[in-house]
Amino acid sequence: MNMKKFISIWFFFLIVFSILSCSDTNNFAGPPATGDKVVLDSEVNDFVWRSLNSWYNWQTDSNNLADTKADDLDEYYTFLNQYTDPSDLMYDLCYKHWRIVGSENAVDRFSWFIEDFDVHEEGAQGIRTVFGFRYQSVQINDSGDIIFYMRHVEPGSPADIAGIKRGDIVNKLNGTQLTAANYDTTINALFEESVTLSFISAADGKLTQLEDKSITRTKVVSNPVHFKKVFDNIDGKKVGYLVYNQFSASFNDELNDAFAFFKSEGINELVLDLRLNGGGSVDSAAFLASMISAATGSGVFTELNFNAKHQDQNGAWNFTDKLTVYDVNWNAIGSENINRLVGIDKLYVLVSGSTASASEMVINGLRPYLSQVILIGTTTYGKNVGSITLYDNPSSDYSSKPRSPTHKMAMQPIVFAAYNKNGESDFIQGFLPDIEVKEWNYWDNILPFGDENEIVLKAALDDIRGITAKTLLSKRQQKARFIDSEKSDYKFDKEMYIDPGYFNQN
């Protein structure tokens, strides 16, 4: 073969190979050219990771929150881009979060994602779109019939306007009778915009079907200082009684007014009803504890301990003589002298499984100072850790609102643990009652708050009288079975948080 022919054949194959290499039938793109970078799909995901990396209580226990995770941006962005929903990213980053590992194996039972921080902040101040009642479900017989009774009805709420009262009994939702077989699905009607409740009477030893009432959610402002009363002669003593349902900073002055009333009445004993109080503001908890006893002086009420990156935020909330008054937007609008009780060395606290976080902080914080803190009811919830709201604002290390928000998403992760002045914080299983009273056993005779014969309050008053009460259950009450199932779409039911603005002040 001559040289010219060889060269011609070689060029022919080279052209054919080049055409085939560029053919549409070949979809292999090959490795990216040197210098190509991974593009971050969602800046919100970056906020989720960086803010948790800074503040999260269990940051060092979560492998994907390790500081080195963001060293290689391509790998870091590739990791973040796996998540189209930033809430999924948050729960995956949390250490053994209950949504990922289940309640039994969870370490973090409390961190949560916020879709709209405006709604979130209203909720912290007791402003919510609700029906306006709290309930407790009970299986009332061996056949599996379930009812729920009203534990609390919020004044001015749709439930209140419909004439619903504490102690009223419901056995049907939207016409479906509650049973053990259908409860988990039927109870979800309480998450809808409207619901029809069917009421029964349990008088005279029989159950009688009463009327139906339909209610629709509306926005309600809940005053947590729900009820106060003084009993003038309980074994010769004046006894103050307060139902307080949320540690809400915008109601600090109303709380202080209640203690002004107790001071003016010269009470000798105090019964604090926290059965429905799942917590709230650490500030408000410190103010309440200061009101209960002047003998605590300016001692340490609680110590907060943050992660290794925020040890400078560790510190004490002390008992104090002054409180801050806030409006509903957490703007400080003044201060007041605290009405501190003199001569209270023993405190009665009515508790339940709904008594959590900041409520437990008050119990824990006062125990080193008072001779007795007597708990009456059932075991408390068990939450010794608290949170702050994290916003997408890197310039504030995510501890304050965005300057120019492009979204309203935020987070409420656990960032600190709380201790009393003796370094005690071991109540993650809850506080056991000193006098156990199971309110739900008496589902067919739940009396109003402040009624001297209301079963849990009566136990406290009897103890003040020096009486060891023996409660007798009817046959119907003996068959009652507690249903641990009050479902809520209100996240602040079990919260303990530091008010916005705290980090700007420290």
- Residue 284: give its domain's CATH number: 3.90.226.10
| Residue 64 contacts residue 78 (beta carbons within 8 Å) | no
- Tell whether 183 and 308 lie within a shared domain: no
Q: Of 221, 236, 256, which residue sits at a domain end? A: 221
Distance CA 166, CA 173 (A): 18
The predicted pLDDT at position 496 comes to 86
pLDDT > 70 in the chain, percent: 90
Per-residue pLDDT band at 492 (split at 50, 70, 90): low
Is there a single domain that holds both residue 169 and residue 261? no
pTM: 0.89
Beta strands, E only, 274-331? 280-281, 300-306, 315-318, 322-326
Domain count for the chain: 2
Examine residue 15 and state whether it is found in any structural domain, yes or no: no
Q: How confident is the model at residue 485 (pLDDT cuts 50, 70, 90)?
A: low
- What is the separation of C-alpha 16 from the centre of its chain, rounded to a whole number of angstroms? 70
335-357 per-position pLDDT tens digit: 999 999 999 999 999 999 999 99
Question: What is the reported pLDDT for 24?
Answer: 37
Instruction: Return the pLDDT at 330.
Output: 72
At 52, the amino acid letter reads L
Give the per-residue pLDDT at 302: 97
Q: Which of 250-264, 328-342, 436-450 is the least confident region?
A: 328-342
Q: Are residue 142 and residue 259 in the same domain, yes or no?
A: no
Say which residues have a Cβ less than 8 Å from residue 39's Cβ, sequence separation at least 6: 77
Residue pair 183/485 in contact by the 8 Å Cβ criterion: yes
Residue with tokens 């009778």: 177
Nearest-angstrom CA–CA distance, 300 and 422? 9
Statement: residue 472 has pLDDT above 90? no
pLDDT above 90 covers what percent of the chain? 78
Give the range among 151-155, 304-308, 475-479 with minimum mean pLDDT: 475-479
407 has a pLDDT exceeding 60 = yes
The predicted model gives 61-75 an average pLDDT of 96
Q: Is residue 309 one of the residues assigned to a domain?
A: yes
Please report the pLDDT score of residue 150 as a whole number.
97
Q: 264 and 373 in one domain?
A: yes
Domain final residue, candidates 221, 248, 264:
221
- Angle 73-80/43-55 helices, nearest 10 degrees? 110
Per-residue pLDDT at 19: 39
> Looking at residue 498, what is its pLDDT?
87
Within a domain: residue 431? yes
User: Residue 178: which of 485, 493, 496 has the closest Cα?
Assistant: 485
Lowest mean pLDDT among 148-152, 330-334, 413-417, 457-461: 330-334
Per-residue model confidence (pLDDT) at position 125: 78
Residue 103 is predicted with a pLDDT of: 85
Tell whether 160 is covered by a domain. Answer: yes
Angle value at C-alpha 246, between 245 and 251, nearest 5 degrees: 110
Show the tokens assigned to 58: 């269990």
Higher pLDDT: 134 or 328? It is: 134
For the stretch 258-293, pLDDT in tens is: 999 999 999 999 999 999 999 999 999 999 999 999
| Range 447-463 average pLDDT | 97
The answer to whether residue 19 is domain-embedded is: no
Looking at the predicted structure, is the pLDDT value of residue 79 above 60? yes
pLDDT of residue 487: 60
- As a whole number, the mean pLDDT across the chain is 89
Average pLDDT in the 143-166 region?
A: 97
Q: Is the pLDDT of residue 35 over 80?
A: no
Q: Are residues 269 and 408 in the same domain?
A: yes
> Has residue 208 got a pLDDT over 60?
yes
CA-to-CA distance for 389 and 255, rounded, in angstroms? 24
Read off the amino acid at residue 469: A
Residue 122: the pLDDT is: 84
**Does 378 fall in a domain?**
yes
pLDDT of the residue at 16: 38
The pLDDT, as a whole number, for residue 13 is 41
What's the pLDDT score for residue 497? 86
Two tokens, residue 103: 């309640």
106 forms beta bridges with: none
| 127-130/218-221 β-pairing | antiparallel
- Mean pLDDT throughout 34-45? 85
Residues 185 and 260 in one domain: no
**Residue 116 has which token pair?**
């709209």
Distance, CA of 437 to CA of 462 (rounded, Å) = 13
Same domain, 288 and 161: no
Question: Is residue 262 included in any domain, yes or no?
Answer: yes
Tokens read off for 196: 């029809």
How would residue 27 be classed by pLDDT, with cut points 50, 70 and 90? very low
- Could you tell me if 389 and 467 lie in one domain? yes
Confidence of residue 213 (pLDDT cuts 50, 70, 90): very high
Statement to judge: residues 372 and 398 lie in one domain: yes
Are 239 and 194 part of one and the same domain?
Answer: no
The helix/strand/coil state of 440 is helix
Instruction: State the residue for tokens 């009396």.
Output: 447
According to the model, what pLDDT value does residue 331 have? 78
Lowest mean pLDDT among 390-394, 473-477, 483-487: 483-487
Domain span at 161: 130-221
Domain end: 170, 204, 221, which one?
221
Neighbours of 53 (CB within 10 A): 19
- Which residues in 319-423 belong to E strands, given as ranges? 322-326, 332-337, 346-351, 372-377, 385-387, 410-412, 414-419
Q: Which of the four pLDDT bands, split at 50, 70 and 90, describes residue 501?
A: low
Helix axes 358-366, 282-292, angle to 10 degrees: 40
Same domain, 215 and 230: no
Contact 181, 209 (CB under 8 A): no
d(CA 385, CA 358): 9
Q: Model confidence over 299-330: pLDDT tens digits?
A: 999 999 999 999 999 999 999 999 988 877 77
Confidence class for position 89, pLDDT limits 50, 70, 90: very high
CATH of the domain at 154: 2.30.42.10
Structure tokens at 332: 């400080």
- Residue 306 lies inside a defined structural domain of this protein: yes
**For residue 506, what is the DSSP state?**
-
10: confidence class by pLDDT, cuts 50, 70, 90: very low
Closest CA to 437 of 415, 453, 426, 450: 453
Pairwise pLDDT comparison (470 vs 247), residue with the higher score: 247
Model pLDDT, residue 126: 79
Q: How far is CA 23 from CA 11, 29, 31, 166, 276, in A?
A: 18, 12, 18, 77, 71
Q: For 359-373, 402-416, 437-451, which range has the lowest pLDDT when averaged over its residues?
A: 402-416
Residue 214 shares a structural domain with residue 260:
no
The total of other beta-carbon atoms located within 10 Å of residue 30's CB is 5
Give residue 324's identity as a one-letter amino acid code.
T
Q: What DSSP letter does each residue of 203-257 carry, written as one string? A: GGGS-EEEEEEEEE-EEEE--SEEEEEEEEEETTEEEEEEEE--B-GGGHHHHHH
